[in-house]
């Protein structure tokens, strides 16, 4: 069974609202990118007022961003995706 890792993500929804969430990925990430232990999956701050819908393939978008921009994500402390 592959290990599951949780990464901090800032997803910008189509309405332009930022959502800080915790997303499960299959690859290990630097501690600077990991969610805190008490942070549940989908934990979110930010606006949207219920009008934002995040894509069902969010984990795949996060994995791709980690492959393409790992160092930049690590510098920011989160993975940035436009959802």
Q: What are phi and psi of 77, to 5 degrees?
A: 95, 5
Q: What is the pLDDT along the chain (83 residues), one digit of tens a residue?
A: 567 889 999 999 888 889 899 999 999 999 999 998 777 666 454 444 567 888 889 999 999 999 999 999 999 999 999 97
* pTM score of the predicted model: 0.82
Q: What is the 3-state secondary structure (H, E, C) of the chain?
A: CCCCEEEEEEEECCCCCEEEEEEEECCCCCHHHECCCCCCCCCCECCCCCCCCCCCCHHHHHHHHHHHHHHHHHHHCCEEEEC
Confidence (pLDDT) at 39: 72
Can you give the pLDDT at residue 31? 93
pLDDT for the residue 14: 86
- CA 2 – CA 16 distance, rounded (Å): 34
């Amino acid at each position: 069974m592959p290990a599951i890792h949780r990464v901090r993500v800032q997803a910008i929804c189509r309405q332009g609202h930022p959502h800080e969430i915790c997303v499960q990925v299959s690859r290990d990430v630097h501690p600077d990118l990991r969610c805190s232990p008490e942070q549940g999956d989908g934990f979110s701050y930010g606006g949207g007022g219920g009008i934002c819908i995040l894509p069902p393939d969010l984990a795949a978008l996060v994995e791709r961003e980690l492959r393409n921009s790992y160092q930049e994500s690590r510098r920011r402390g989160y993975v940035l995706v436009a959802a």
